[in-house]
Amino acid sequence: MSVASIGPYEFESRDSLRHFNGKQLLYVNWEKHRMFSRPFVLALRPETPFSVLLEKYIPEAYAFHPDFPRIDWTQVIWQNSSMRFVPEPGKTLAENGIGHKDLIRFTTPGLDGLNGSGY
């Protein structure tokens, strides 16, 4: 069944950046670690240093996983959605090209979840 549009449907999204008081939503997912069923969502200011994400927020979210203490952070593969990138910890989220509602994915080579199960 085809549908004919009668005109543009214009509305402001309720999760647009202006609704978060200067913060942006950031989704963070540890790939192959499905013990956490979905990415964590953080509300952070764009001027937050990436190092704070690494030292505070990622450990708060994932430290319960038994693989967490075994992460070799020098080997982590980072992606912003599907694009690989190398974050600069001393720069802000914005300076690292991370924007509102971006998905930061990190893969830890050699760590594939509980007993290699992906969980």
Instruction: Confirm whether 26 is domain-assigned.
Output: yes
Instruction: Confirm whether 98 is domain-assigned.
Output: yes
Instruction: Confirm whether 5 is domain-assigned.
Output: no
Instruction: Confirm whether 43 is domain-assigned.
Output: yes
Name the nearest CA neighbour of 28 among 119, 102, 100: 102
Instruction: Confirm whether 6 is domain-assigned.
Output: no
Sign of CA dihedral 73, 77, 81, 84: positive
Among 9-13, 64-68, 91-95, name the one with the lowest average pLDDT: 9-13
108 within 8 A of 67, measured Cβ to Cβ: yes
What's the whole-model pTM score? Answer: 0.86
Instruction: Confirm whether 83 is domain-assigned.
Output: yes
Query: For the domain that residue 107 is a member of, what is the CATH number?
Result: 3.10.20.560
Range of the domain at 75: 17-116
- Alpha-carbon distance of 94 to 108, in angstroms, equals 24
Please state, in angstroms and as integers, the Cα–Cα distance from residue 18 to each residue in 34, 48, 53, 70, 94, following that order. Answer: 32, 17, 22, 39, 16
- Structural domains in the chain (count): 1
Interval 15-69: pLDDT, tens: 888 888 999 999 999 999 988 789 999 999 999 999 999 999 999 999 999 999 9
89 within 8 A of 49, measured Cβ to Cβ: yes
Instruction: Confirm whether 12 is domain-assigned.
Output: no
